[in-house]
Structure 1
Amino acid sequence: MDRIRIVGGNKLNGTIPISGAKNAALPLMIASLLTDETLILDNVPRLADVAQLQRILGNHGLDIMSKGKRPGDHEYQGQTLHISAANIIDTTAPYELVSKMRASFWVIAPLLARMHVAKVSLPGGCAIGTRPVDLLIMALEKLGAELQIDGGYVIAKAPGGLTGAEIDFPKVTVSGTHVALMAATLAKGTTVITNAACEPEIVDVADCLNKMGAKISGAGTPRIEIEGVKKLHGARHTVLPDRIEAGTYAMAVAMTGGDVQLAGARPELLQSALDVLTEAGATITPNNEGIRVTRNGAGISPVKVTTAPFPGFPTDLQAQLMALMACAKGSSHITETIFENRFMHVQELARFGARISLDGETAIIEGIAKLRGAPVMATDLRASVSLVIAALAAEGETTVNRVYHLDRGFERLEEKLSACGATIERISG
């Protein structure tokens, strides 16, 4: 199993290209099930989760052609996928595929909308809490689907097709909003989603669906209206840049010092995180190429942060911020409100010497002058990259084990960091 070895103490200087957003690429790929014409997606990141979803879609009978770099392409530019769901030959998503990635459960929405039938395995447990699918099932039932759970599978039918409805989510849910949005595009009549998630990735998916002929308005606000259409067609769409990757590298620069241009990053996608980094002592400068992040000389100031749905501080940057605060001058408080069990990185950060105590949903971090390298283990996708951030600033050598978590969400992490002066390498086997 691969490991990553890091020798800390180097400032980061240079340019880091920001990849396409995983959290948009996955639902966009799933949306290809809604049409029998080809959907072309540009700037798709090369990630383990993307490869896994390609296998899942292939099981339904989709043809996926991948194009790599072409003359004149920028380094690290994402791949282009040509996805054709002309013939869906299987409406079952089996446990052995769905269990490896929760987002694959979302195929239930386009299968129901277009084929009027689906059998999809429940996704099972998750390292950061239960993350149940009850709100997704509720949304589909509102649209007229008949669902039953049998043997760990959700068996869904909509004999006459789905029908528009009012869907009021009791709490903000990104996955529920994605599912309701996709299902409603081919439903008869109008669907209104209230208390919808406002994340940029929802807007990106809605933009692509509209290019395919859907009639969606209000994406990015708590109220989305979808007027159902009979058929969607092919389209071409570029995946938006990954705000979590951009925020992660911004925190790495704030941690180590230096001067890095985050090429292609869009500040409006992560303004709350940039505000926190400014408060912590980094200098954030948006420009035509993306976002420039610098921290020269000054120490890291402590902050108080509570995670919240967009446009609040993202839960997916909570672990990275905690690593940064481990070296702040004073006491920081980070409160996690989105997922339970999302402090599993605390005990691994403690191996660097970080002083962190937990009080319910709040982590209190007492900053220390210097972290020390240590062997550590990744526990989930976002936690694993917090260990990399800590290691970049720690004295001595760190080995991060179980890096397959990193490969799920960060494209060519070692290459991007080493190009900016980090001493980092992957050790295979």
Structure 2
Amino acid sequence: MGSFIIEGRNSLEGIVDIGGSKNAALPILASTVISGREYLLENIPDIEDVKDMLEILQDMGCTVQHDNGVALIDTRGLNTSQVPEKLVRKIRSSIILMGAVLQRTGNVEIAYPGGCEIGLRPIDLHLKGLRKLGVEIIEKSGLLVGKVTEPSGCEIQLDYPSVGATENIMLFAVGIPGKTVIYNPAKEPEIVDLQNFLNTCGYSVSGAGTGSIIIEGKKPENTDTVEYKIISDRIEAGTYLSAASSMKSKIYIRNIEKSHFKSITSIYEDAGCEIRETHGTIVISNQGRIKAVEKVTTQPYPGFPTDMQAQFMASMATADGISIIEETVFDSRYKHVPELQKMGANITTIGRVAVVEGVHKLYSAEVEAKDLRGGAALVIAALGAEGTSKINNIYHINRGYEKFVQKLQNIGAVITETKN
């Protein structure tokens, strides 16, 4: 699975270029199967989750080329409605293929998705929405088997603004008769990006980012090559911000829309970091020990993202004072806590609440990444710790961060990757 070897207590300074958004790229890649045509996608991150999604498309008969942030995909050769089970169990976002494949073929067989073990992530809202749109879905031998029967647009009220459910409903509804309205949808920038991509393909979607999404079902007449550029990754940007806050630093973050991660920057400004924008570049400066933030609660966008909870905890581990973190999105997202404790962090968890009492310094240790964002938190902790740390099982981290070692080295981190 490989390891990172990190020498701590080195200041960070330099430029970080943010790559394409993982959480925008995956649903857009899945949506390419809706109609058989060619797609030229830019700003595609070179990460393991993207490689797995592209492999799924290839296994289903599509042609894929991916190099240097550009993917050329031809889905005219799609020849099955069965999504390969082995790959689905590796990547959570593969469930979004359910709505896309149903729209293309009228049928689907797909396993329950895998990914990080960060608690229950039920897909009942996905199934409920698709059923309301005219899909019969049964469970058979551990697989979800879906068949389109009487497709028709309708109004769907989501009990929770689930990102995945919003995406699956969008991908199926774009091509069925009638108008579909999703109330209480997810509002993330990645949902807006998916809407923009679908409209570029010739579909009719509006309202993404607001309290309702309106989909006028139709089949695009134009089958020319679709060209589209994915938005940049706000969580990647937030992760480097967390790293900068943990030690003396001055880093410049380029290729990011500041409004997309305002909930992240505002928290770190409260902690004492200086954050400003100049000529489209976000400049982050930290000259000393940051202050604890009294309480942070993870929430759906535009609230503080659950995907930043672990990284934030790592930076609060050495902050001056006590921070309280409440995780409301997932029920098992504190697997990084015991690993941070090995490095000297003073953290107590009670259910979904974590109390972090900042210590003056962390110390090197050998720790294990249990999931993607928790692994990133361990990197942040190791960068600020005294001594040389080893982080094992870095496959999880490479699932979501492009050129992580290289980008950290470019800003002064002493980090190497081993394959053992």
TM range (shorter): over 0.9
- Structure 1 unmatched runs, 5+: 69-78
Which of residues 383, 387, 400 in structure 2 aligns to 1:396? 387
The reply to whether residue 423 of structure 1 matches residue 414 of structure 2 is: yes
Q: What is the CA distance between 1:297 and its match in structure 2?
A: 3.2
- Taking the aligned partners of 2:182 and 2:262, their CA distance within structure 1 comes to 25
Question: When the two structures are aligned, how many residues end up with a matched partner?
Answer: 418
What residue is the counterpart of 2:120 in the other structure? 130
Which SS does the other structure have where 2:156 is aligned?
A: strand
What residue is the counterpart of 2:245 in the other structure? 254
Please tell me whether the aligned partners of residues 306 and 329 of structure 2 are also in contact (alpha carbons under 8 angstroms). yes
Please tell me whether the aligned partners of residues 116 and 372 of structure 2 are also in contact (alpha carbons under 8 angstroms). no
- Taking the aligned partners of 2:135 and 2:293, their CA distance within structure 1 comes to 50
Please tell me whether the aligned partners of residues 126 and 168 of structure 2 are also in contact (alpha carbons under 8 angstroms). yes
Distance 1:124 1:382, change over 3 A: closer
- Taking the aligned partners of 1:194 and 1:145, their CA distance within structure 2 comes to 19
What residue is the counterpart of 1:347 in the other structure? 338
Which SS does the other structure have where 2:190 is aligned?
A: helix
What fraction of aligned residue pairs are identical, expressed as a percent? 38
Which SS does the other structure have where 1:33 is aligned?
A: coil
Q: What is the CA distance between 1:293 and its match in structure 2?
A: 0.6
Which of residues 138, 147, 152 in structure 2 aligns to 1:157? 147
Q: What is the CA distance between 1:298 and its match in structure 2?
A: 5.1
- Taking the aligned partners of 1:89 and 1:298, their CA distance within structure 2 comes to 57
The reply to whether residue 357 of structure 1 matches residue 348 of structure 2 is: yes
Please tell me whether the aligned partners of residues 237 and 256 of structure 2 are also in contact (alpha carbons under 8 angstroms). yes
- Taking the aligned partners of 2:67 and 2:236, their CA distance within structure 1 comes to 23
Q: TM-score when scaled to structure 1?
A: 0.95
- Taking the aligned partners of 1:277 and 1:240, their CA distance within structure 2 comes to 23
- Taking the aligned partners of 1:156 and 1:258, their CA distance within structure 2 comes to 52
Please tell me whether the aligned partners of residues 120 and 332 of structure 2 are also in contact (alpha carbons under 8 angstroms). no
Please tell me whether the aligned partners of residues 91 and 115 of structure 2 are also in contact (alpha carbons under 8 angstroms). no
- Taking the aligned partners of 1:246 and 1:302, their CA distance within structure 2 comes to 20
Distance 1:125 1:199, change over 3 A: closer
- Once the two structures are superposed, residues 217-250 of structure 1 have per-residue CA deviations (whole angstroms, 9 ceiling, x without a partner) of 1001120000001236442111101000000001
The reply to whether residue 120 of structure 1 matches residue 137 of structure 2 is: no
What residue is the counterpart of 1:182 in the other structure? 171
What residue is the counterpart of 1:173 in the other structure? 162
What residue is the counterpart of 2:66 in the other structure? 66
Q: What is the CA distance between 1:87 and its match in structure 2?
A: 2.4
The reply to whether residue 221 of structure 1 matches residue 210 of structure 2 is: yes
- Taking the aligned partners of 1:302 and 1:26, their CA distance within structure 2 comes to 33
Distance 1:236 1:422, change over 3 A: same
Amino acid at match of 2:23: N
Amino acid at match of 1:138: K
- Taking the aligned partners of 2:366 and 2:116, their CA distance within structure 1 comes to 24
Higher alpha-carbon deviation: 397-406 or 352-361:
352-361
Higher alpha-carbon deviation: 262-271 or 59-68:
59-68
What residue is the counterpart of 1:386 in the other structure? 377
What residue is the counterpart of 1:142 in the other structure? 132
- Taking the aligned partners of 1:87 and 1:63, their CA distance within structure 2 comes to 7
Q: Show the 5 A alignment for 1:321-336.
A: 321-336=312-327
- Once the two structures are superposed, residues 183-232 of structure 1 have per-residue CA deviations (whole angstroms, 9 ceiling, x without a partner) of 11101110000010000000001000000011111001120000001236
Please tell me whether the aligned partners of residues 266 and 291 of structure 1 are also in contact (alpha carbons under 8 angstroms). no
What residue is the counterpart of 1:51 in the other structure? 51
RMSD (Å) for aligned C-alpha atoms:
1.3
Q: What is the CA distance between 1:124 and its match in structure 2?
A: 5.5
Amino acid at match of 1:106: I
- Taking the aligned partners of 2:252 and 2:105, their CA distance within structure 1 comes to 46
Which SS does the other structure have where 2:187 is aligned?
A: coil
Amino acid at match of 2:22: K
Please tell me whether the aligned partners of residues 266 and 290 of structure 1 are also in contact (alpha carbons under 8 angstroms). no
- Taking the aligned partners of 1:127 and 1:301, their CA distance within structure 2 comes to 28
The reply to whether residue 9 of structure 1 matches residue 9 of structure 2 is: yes
What residue is the counterpart of 1:86 in the other structure? 76
Higher alpha-carbon deviation: 240-249 or 92-101:
92-101
- Taking the aligned partners of 1:90 and 1:254, their CA distance within structure 2 comes to 48
- Once the two structures are superposed, residues 332-377 of structure 1 have per-residue CA deviations (whole angstroms, 9 ceiling, x without a partner) of 0000000011011110000110000012211000101011011000
Q: TM-score when scaled to structure 2?
A: 0.97
The reply to whether residue 95 of structure 1 matches residue 88 of structure 2 is: no
- Taking the aligned partners of 2:299 and 2:212, their CA distance within structure 1 comes to 18
Amino acid at match of 1:127: E
Q: Show the 5 A alignment for 1:237-252.
A: 237-252=228-243
Q: What is the CA distance between 1:113 and its match in structure 2?
A: 1.1
What residue is the counterpart of 2:298 in the other structure? 307
Q: What is the CA distance between 1:159 and its match in structure 2?
A: 4.3
Please tell me whether the aligned partners of residues 247 and 287 of structure 2 are also in contact (alpha carbons under 8 angstroms). no
- Taking the aligned partners of 1:190 and 1:353, their CA distance within structure 2 comes to 56
